[in-house]
């Protein structure tokens, strides 16, 4: 394999069992001198049963003690989706689509603010993701108008979470949104028509797009589309942080074709680079469903597919390939991880626990501290 592409191994179930056996005899997980020994993640979860209540909070991964602990847990009204860590250590959590609530807790787990769209007779519902504006005074949320089905962008006061303005997303089913290097909004319009109860319908009318909006007034600055309208554009990650003019955007795709054979052959990654949107590879997960995306390994992206029990690496050094890095049941939530050396790794939530992967370190796994099922996304809050 080319030295420009990761030479690390994927972690599968057999390797996981060997790793767990080895951890019991090891004084600590080997990391390079000076490397961070802890990672704190903002996460959301429920118990092992689908009827169990949901929580959001902070999980502390301690590489030396080989333990994963819950620092705090905040009860949630319903199932959550996206999370956003803030500079002061607080955590924003958004209800899953069609979301009726948005809340903030501090770094000790105290509820600070909460807004309820159902209590305010709001004409919109949240679509699960939120981002902080470049000046730090407003938050942007993806939403859907209940009557028209059109996508909306909510502009909210950062402190109170109350809505200040609302713009057209210039599409339907807007999902994740990020800021570019100029502070403008990039929004993934998933393009899937949905009822107010979130049931998909009329998929032949799908119209997914990626749009760039003026963060001051919502004006449409640019729009991109793929050739296949059944490829829903969902989640977004920049190739590097801080984001600059050289960064390119990775877009996780979820196929919505009627025929299973087309979904199974569909690509799961698109790239926006130099104002061009394209699919770099037809390699996929065998299902056509990328659940999350994160930057990883010197300009690459990690993509997860919980349905396939798989996390894979795409790298510009091998643009036509996807390399498995984690093969475990329910591999889903991803978070970039600095790790012990250059390159950048990723932390992957699986059914059995947290898996860490890094191009210059052996993979390792920390079991969940109690029976729990992680939700779709998590965020790295700090490393120490």
**In order of start, what are the domains of the chain with their CATH numbers?**
11-23+37-383 (2.130.10.10)
Cis peptide before 241 (omega within 30 of 0): no
pLDDT in tens, the chain (384 residues): 232 333 344 556 545 543 443 333 333 444 554 567 899 999 999 999 999 999 999 999 999 999 999 999 999 999 999 999 999 999 999 999 999 999 999 999 999 999 999 998 899 999 999 999 999 999 999 999 999 999 999 999 999 999 999 999 999 999 999 999 999 999 999 999 999 999 999 999 999 999 999 999 999 999 999 999 999 999 999 999 899 999 999 999 999 999 999 999 999 999 999 999 999 999 999 999 999 999 999 999 999 999 999 999 999 999 999 999 999 999 999 999 988 877 789 999 999 999 999 988 888 999 999 999 999 999 999 998
Enclosing H/E stretch for 155: strand 151-157
Strand partners, 374: 45
Which letter does DSSP use for residue 321 in this model?
A: -
Cβ–Cβ < 8 Å for 115, 102: yes
For β-strands 11-12 and 323-327, DSSP reports them as parallel
CA 259 to chain centre: 27
Distance CA 228, CA 145 (A): 25
Of 371, 235, 243, nearest to 294 by C-alpha is 235
Tally of CB atoms within 10 A around 50: 8
Pairing between β-strand 269-273 and β-strand 151-157 as defined by DSSP bridges: unpaired
The reported pTM is 0.92
């Amino acid at each position: 394999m080319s030295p420009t592409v990761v030479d690390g191994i994927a972690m599968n179930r057999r390797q996981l069992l060997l790793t767990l056996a080895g951890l019991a005899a090891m004084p600590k997980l080997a990391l390079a001198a000076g490397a961070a020994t802890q990672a704190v993640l903002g996460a959301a979860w429920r118990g092992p049963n689908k009827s169990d209540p949901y929580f959001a909070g902070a999980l502390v991964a301690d590489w030396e003690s080989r333990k994963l602990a819950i620092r705090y847990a905040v009860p949630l009204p319903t199932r959550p989706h996206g999370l956003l860590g803030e500079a002061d250590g607080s955590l924003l959590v958004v209800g899953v689509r069609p979301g009726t609530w948005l809340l903030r807790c501090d770094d000790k787990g105290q509820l600070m603010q909460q807004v309820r769209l159902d209590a305010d007779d709001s004409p919109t519902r949240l679509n699960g993701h939120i981002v902080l504006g470049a000046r730090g005074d407003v938050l942007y949320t993806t939403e859907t108008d209940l009557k028209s089905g059109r996508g909306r962008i909510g502009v909210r006061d950062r402190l109170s979470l109350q809505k200040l303005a609302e713009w057209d997303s210039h599409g339907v089913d807007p999902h994740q949104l990020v800021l570019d290097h100029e502070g403008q909004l990039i929004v993934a319009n998933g393009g899937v028509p949905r009822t107010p109860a979130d049931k998909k319908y009329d998929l032949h009318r799908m119209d997914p797009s990626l749009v760039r909006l003026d963060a001051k007034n919502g004006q449409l600055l640019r729009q991109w589309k793929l050739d296949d309208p059944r490829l829903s554009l969902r989640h977004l990650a920049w190739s590097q942080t801080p984001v600059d003019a050289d960064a390119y955007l990775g877009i996780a795709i979820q196929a919505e074709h009627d025929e299973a054979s087309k979904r199974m052959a569909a690509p799961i990654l698109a790239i926006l680079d130099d104002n061009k949107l394209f699919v770099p590879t037809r390699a996929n997960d065998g299902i056509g469903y990328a659940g999350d995306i994160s930057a990883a390994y010197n300009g690459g992206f990690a993509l997860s597919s919980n349905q396939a029990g798989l996390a894979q690496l795409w790298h510009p050094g091998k643009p036509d390939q996807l390399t498995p890095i984690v093969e475990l049941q329910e591999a889903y939530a991803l978070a970039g991880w600095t790790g012990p050396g250059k390159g950048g790794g990723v932390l992957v939530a699986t059914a059995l626990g947290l898996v860490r992967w890094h191009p210059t370190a052996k993979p390792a796994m920390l079991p969940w501290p109690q029976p729990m099922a992680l939700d779709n996304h998590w965020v790295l809050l700090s490393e120490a």
